[in-house]
Amino acid sequence: MRHLLDTRTLTREAAVRILDTAEEMADTQHREVRKLPALRGKTVVNLFYEDSTRTRISFEAAAKRLSADVINFSAKGSSVSKGESLKDTAQTLQAIGADGVVIRHPASGAPDRLARSGWIDAGVLNAGDGTHEHPTQALLDAFTMRRRIFGAQASRGRDLDGVSVVIVGDLAHSRVARSNLWLLTALGARVAFVGPETLQPYGAREWPATVRHSLDEALREDAPDVVMLLRIQSERMHAAYFPNEREYARNWGLDDARLAALPERTIIMHPGPMNRGLEISSAAADSERSTVLEQVANGVSVRMAALYLLLSGERGDPRDRLPGEA
Ligand code: CP
């Protein structure tokens, strides 16, 4: 694997391999020496054209725990504001010797362009592009589901065959929903997309997901093991298409009444940042069945795995020779 651009092209085997490598990485983080030498001498650039808290800091933490040098680049405050192009920015990164570029960009397809451009030799990791994909988010979500459903020890080598996942909310703008759809279906899960008609992505009925408009119907009919709430992306929203906030919370929010009616096994996920009181109540976000903070913690292990598999130059099963292991 040279780049990680999407989950649509990931096979079940490749996805399970990344998740299993993340389990190995998570194991190393419980040891006294948390830093592994795997990427010593490598340089990872976090190239962020859009704001981020979780993704940026967890890629930074992941790269540092693998001993890479990390350069954080934010478009705000850089020469991008003077009109510098993606090509010239990329070639600047090439000149300073970047081995890996983690890119978040508002334009769908920007990471793919960077990877195929020939402007840089570095491995490219998509940290979220427009409404297209956010592959490491989906991988950390799948990792979290596997752990919650099977337990950490029993997770290795497993997929999510038969697991029912209901993804609720602003699907039209959600790269998280798309990446989860492709990854979860490759892993054998059943996916339902739930939200107002105006926030369904164009063409969703052709995709391998059940499409519903009633959350209550989905919670009844799909018997979900996982309910994943998505952030209402007000910054990308055309006001005319959006049900007002009160309407949204009443019909599609995971409020306290819906929380109380969920089956005991059902877990609640949200990629963050959350709009509390809109798509998710505080009681749901803070409940024991919520995995919101586990998702953040697991993101570091999953991003360590992705960086390791792309940049270490190792071949074969990395579990055979994790750095620092006999
Ligand atoms: N989930 C996610 O991508 O969050 P950030 O925008 O904070 O990175």
Ligand 1, residue 56: give the atom nearest the CA. Answer: 8
Burial zone of 121 (CB within 10 Å; 0-12 exposed, 13-18 middle, 19+ buried): exposed
pLDDT above 90 (res 317): no
Taking the centre of ligand 1 as the mean of its atom positions, its distance from the CA of residue 176, in whole angstroms, is 10
273 CA distance to ligand 1 centroid (A)? 6
Which structure tokens are listed for 242?
């959006």
The identity of residue 93, as a single letter, is L
Pick out the residues of the known binding site. 54-55, 82, 104, 134, 137, 175, 231, 272-273
53 CA closest ligand 1 atom index: 7
CA 55 to centroid of ligand 1, rounded, Å: 5
Pocket lining: 275 vs ligand 1, CB cutoff 6 Å: no
Q: Which residue is listed with tokens 């954080």?
A: 72
Residue to mutate (ligand 1; options 137, 274, 302; most atoms within 8 A of CB) = 137
Q: Tell whether ligand 1 has an atom less than 6 A from the beta carbon of residue 180.
A: no
Q: Is the CB of 169 under 6 A from ligand 1?
A: no
> Among 48, 49, 51, 55, which is best to mutate for testing ligand 1, by the most ligand atoms less than 8 A from CB?
55
Name the DSSP class of 240: G
pLDDT in tens, 200-210: 888 888 999 99
Q: Determine the topology of domain 135-292 in CATH.
A: Rossmann fold (3.40.50)
Start-end of H helices in the chain: 12-28, 54-65, 86-95, 110-116, 135-150, 152-155, 175-186, 215-221, 245-252, 256-261, 282-285, 292-311
pLDDT on residue 236: 73
Domain coordinates of the chain in residue numbers? 12-133+295-321, 135-292
Nearest-angstrom CA–CA distance, 311 and 71:
16
* Residue 233 pLDDT level (bands cut at 50, 70, 90): confident
53 lines ligand 1 (CB under 6 A): yes
Q: To test ligand 1's pocket by mutation, which of 48, 50, 54 has the most ligand atoms within 8 angstroms of CB?
A: 54
Of 319 and 219, the one with more pLDDT: 219
Residue among 123, 129, 139 at smallest CA distance from 48:
129
Q: Evaluate whether 230 touches 179 at the Cβ level (below 8 Å).
A: no
List the structure tokens of 140. Answer: 């950390």
pTM for the model stands at 0.94
Whether the CB-CB separation of 296 and 54 falls below 8 Å is answered with yes
Give the pLDDT of residue 145. Answer: 98
Looking at the predicted structure, is the pLDDT value of residue 119 above 70? yes
157: alpha, beta or left? (left if phi > 0; alpha if psi -120 to 50):
left
Average pLDDT, the chain: 92
Taking the CB of residue 239, how many other CB atoms lie within 10 A of it? 7
Percent of the chain with pLDDT over 90: 83
The response to whether residue 179 sits with its C-beta less than 6 Å from ligand 1 reads no
Confidence (pLDDT) at 234: 80
Q: CA-CA distance, 208 to 192, in Å (whole number)?
A: 9
Q: How far is CA 277 from the centre of its chain?
A: 23
Mean pLDDT of 209-233: 96
pLDDT at res. 28: 85
Q: Which two tokens stand for residue 236?
A: 């990308």
- What are the angstrom distances between the C-alpha of 312 and each of 89, 115, 128, 183? 24, 18, 23, 24
Asked if residue 123 lies in contact with residue 90, where contact means CB atoms within 8 angstroms, the answer is no
Average pLDDT over residues 268-285: 97
Q: What is the pLDDT of residues 56-113, one digit of tens each?
A: 999 999 999 999 999 999 988 889 988 999 999 999 999 999 999 999 999 999 999 9
Q: Which residues are 103's β-sheet partners?
A: 47, 126
Across 152-170, average pLDDT? 96
Most informative mutation of 49, 50, 52, 129 for ligand 1 (most atoms within 8 A of CB): 52
CATH of domain 12-133+295-321: 3.40.50.1370
CB of 158 within 6 A of ligand 1: the answer is: no
| Same topology between domain 12-133+295-321 and domain 135-292 | yes
Q: Give the CB-side neighbour count of residue 259, counting CA atoms within 13 A.
A: 20
325 pLDDT more than 80: no
Helix, strand, coil shares of the chain, percent, nearest 5, are 45, 15, 40
Residue 248 confidence (pLDDT): 93
For ligand 1, say whether the CB of 55 is within 6 Å of any of its atoms.
yes
Could you report the per-residue pLDDT of 7-35, keeping only the tens digit for each? 999 999 999 999 999 999 999 877 766 79
Which two three-digit tokens encode residue 54? 């979780």
